[in-house]
A and B are shown apart, each in its own frame.
Chain A
């Protein structure tokens, strides 16, 4: 099994012992190749996007909850998107939901989550000086930045940003004359996504290479923290699925700009026949969902990895079923590629095919349940320390279960006929994917903030933030199940003209109020985050008494992470409350020969063969 060796990356090794030579501001904070700085860049950009994405959802929730409301006061921000009568423009409403989805799925929960924590934790937890290629890593962030700028600019176009839903199905998205949002906004959406995919692939190639080739001595795959396993598999999924989105988007670009007919067939628009013949819009859905479904696991798996680490540390117990956790990550990753058509049950899919995809979809419940049970059994009879990070991790488990259960309904091809494209779907994925991943992101920030900035975040504000968000999320998304079962379709601008829906008007107002309060609660976090960067309590080296390697670095690790030699790894990362041991945690770099009182029989054998030496860095 391969172990890290830095000598192959000679240029890297040279730079990385470079605490003694001063870097300019630009190479240190802007065009940095240091994985920790890049991680922070991803985090801050992700936070900014989360505020924008959340604010957009508040605007359309105002429309849904209070359709009669005068929105004249929003004119300074939205300009002509507020109509003469002081209402939200109905096409802009579509743009709002589209951009909310795009921003949250790709910019916040893919780039913000994987970009931040894969970058920050992979080298630190596997004992590497930096990523395999610092330059590619830097490029990954700046492609993301460029893609962010393009998407941001599209918000201010006269015709508005893309409006065809985050899935941008043709023919709506392929015909610029279809709606305002299919014009320049859609073009910028596609351009932005090209750079986004380039960024994701550059990052992913780096993560995989680093995990496989640069682990420190003794850190075999069977001793890897579950965070790294999750980031690793996430990167593999991204590597296999994002190119498919490239293919789908490429054909869409050709249809839009060159007049081909991959997705278009015999269409009349405004009474006029288009020349396109022979295409199929369903083809796009196949291609899109071949990425789209793995994408939801790209979003949730890193959050689950972060949770595994935090729950084990704060339960002061080894993770329950370490190998089962790895197995379930692998199983979820594998299944993610063979279930895409469950998004297409009502497209006229052959019912027999539908039943196969239903069967495969329902199998996902097995590894998911394994994970949920393992989290709960890890906490069972543990000495739980309720840090804010731990609370957010437990919150994630809660959302993962309650949102996952509704997946069983939706994965059922017969039940899906009535539930498809209703608010039931919205409730399902906002809980299981949106809120769960978002909680994983927050848990990660609270847990690793001390290592990122050398200071602690305020715990009391963390508790207030947790409870208001946790309760708020349920208040927002639980009622949506009922609204969905009642038959409310997604993406409708207004329901006031349907008598059948009038009895749900109050519930919709309630959801909107809860959404506004939950959004407001995030500013507690923002204050806590930015205030603590500068004024927080100084953090000790290992504030949570955790086992993994990042806590052996200095309070604020510099370029190259460890000032001296890289620690060697002797054990798995979950030796918490080991019987016989005085301390309730034994970090990974402590040899078995130093812990004779707690060694299991086979570990005592290993202790005899142990060679205590520093990692050989021939530079």
Chain B
């Protein structure tokens, strides 16, 4: 599959985006809109008062670090694929997947930390929102892991290489997006507590 469409306009040929990659970006917009509206709801609700100050789980710092490292490892997989280093692709994709699992476990443990300070899913929305943000983000991350595994399987079938980059590119885009989304949510919570 080609990286981009070669498109004739008059006598010149211009590059246009691959339709599937384009559709992927549109999908990212919809996910962004969900989180933008939820964080806006958070601001509106907080402004109305009856709010609870919450100490954020220290685990969030660890999971933030993990997701940044996983993004680096994803980018390495992409670079390895570009240089046809199949072993490197497989290793770094596997590494990314393991880091993703570590992230999910970390988020789960952070819920435990919330429960320890008596912030439950049911209760003041200030706490419920944190569960919704993290839970919905992890739901999207699980989708990303499934995508990652598909790419990994294809890497073992010699289908990911410098001439066939669309899938790993899309996967990397989605992965970086999820990382950025988590950092946004964390930063948002810190700034708006």
Contacts and interface: CB of A to CB of B under 8 A. Distances in A.
Interface string B9-36: 1110010111110110011011111100
A207 to B, nearest CB: 10
A247 B37 contact: yes
B132 A251 contact: yes
B22 A247 contact: no
B23 A209 contact: yes
A244 B37 contact: yes
A280 B45 contact: yes
A7 B5 contact: yes
B181 to A, nearest CB: 13
Tell which of A201, A251, A286 has the most Cβ of chain B within 10 Å. A251
A243 B8 contact: no
A243 B6 CA distance: 33
Given A243-B31, A280-B45, A286-B44, A261 B125 contact: yes
Nearest to B9: A3
B192 interface: no
Nearest to A265: B50
B19 A209 contact: yes
A278 B51 contact: yes
B23 A8 contact: no
Interface residues of A, number: 52
A118 to B, nearest CB: 15
Residue among B11, B37, B40 with the most chain A CB within 10 A? B37
A278 B5 contact: no
A244 B50 CA distance: 24
A242 B16 contact: no
Contacts of B193: none
Contact of B41 (A10, A213, A258, A283): A283
Contacts of B7: 2-5
A143 to B, nearest CB: 14
Contacts of A10: 1
Contacts of A242: 30
B37 A258 contact: no
B105 interface: no
A133 B20 contact: yes
Nearest to B32: A243
A259 interface: yes
Contact of B18 (A8, A136, A217, A248): A8
Contacts of B2: 7-8
B124 A283 contact: no
Interface string A202-222: 001110111011100100000
B16 A2 contact: yes
Contact residues on B (Cβ < 8 Å of other chain), bracket: 35 or more
B121 interface: yes
Given A205-B26, A239-B30, A287 B41 contact: yes
A258 B132 CA distance: 12
B10 A611 contact: yes
A9 B19 contact: yes
B128 interface: yes
A262 interface: yes
A277 B41 contact: no
A251 B136 CA distance: 11
B123 A247 contact: no
Interface in B86-137: 121-126, 128-129, 132, 136
B44 A261 contact: no
B29 A262 contact: no
B38 interface: yes
Q: Does more than half of chain A's interface fall in helix, strand or loop, or is it mixed?
A: helix
A46 to B, nearest CB: 23
Contacts of B8: 3, 5, 217, 616
B186 to A, nearest CB: 19
Nearest to A212: B22
A190 to B, nearest CB: 16
A240 interface: yes
A246 interface: yes
Given A5-B6, A250-B132, A286-B41, A260 B125 contact: yes
B91 to A, nearest CB: 31
A72 to B, nearest CB: 47
Residue among B2, B7, B122 with max Cβ neighbours from chain A (10 Å): B7
A208 B20 CA distance: 12
A243 B34 contact: yes
Contacts of B17: 213
Nearest to A136: B23
B126 A278 contact: yes
A2 B16 CA distance: 6
B10 A258 contact: no
A239 B11 CA distance: 35
A290 interface: yes
Given A261-B124, A278-B50, A8 B19 contact: yes
Interface string A244-270: 101110110010001111100100000
A1 B18 CA distance: 14
Contacts of B136: 250
Contacts of A278: 50-52, 123-126
Nearest to B128: A260
Contacts of B48: 280, 282-283
B128 A254 contact: yes
A162 interface: no
B125 A262 contact: yes
A206 B161 CA distance: 28
Contacts of A286: 40-41, 44
A239 B19 contact: no
B25 to A, nearest CB: 9
Contact of A254 (B26, B44, B132): B132
B17 to A, nearest CB: 7
B136 to A, nearest CB: 7
Contacts of B26: 204-205, 208-209, 239
Contacts of B51: 278
Nearest to A214: B19
A7 B6 CA distance: 9
A279 interface: yes
A518 B5 CA distance: 51
Interface in A121-153: 132-133, 136
Contacts of A5: 5-8, 16
A42 to B, nearest CB: 20
Contact of B30 (A243, A251, A262): A243
A213 B30 contact: no
Nearest to A280: B48
A7 B34 CA distance: 34
A243 B39 CA distance: 13
Contact of B23 (A205, A247, A290): A205
Contacts of A206: 23
Contacts of B23: 132-133, 136, 205-206, 209
16 contacts: A1-B9, A2-B5, A2-B7, A132-B20, A201-B27, A204-B26, A217-B9, A242-B30, A243-B32, A244-B33, A262-B41, A278-B125, A279-B125, A283-B41, A286-B40, A611-B10
Given A10-B1, A243-B31, A254-B128, 9 more contacts: A2-B9, A205-B26, A209-B26, A243-B32, A244-B33, A251-B132, A277-B50, A278-B52, A290-B37
What are the nearest 8 A-B pairs in CB distance?
A243-B33, A2-B16, A244-B37, A8-B5, A132-B19, A247-B37, A278-B124, A243-B34
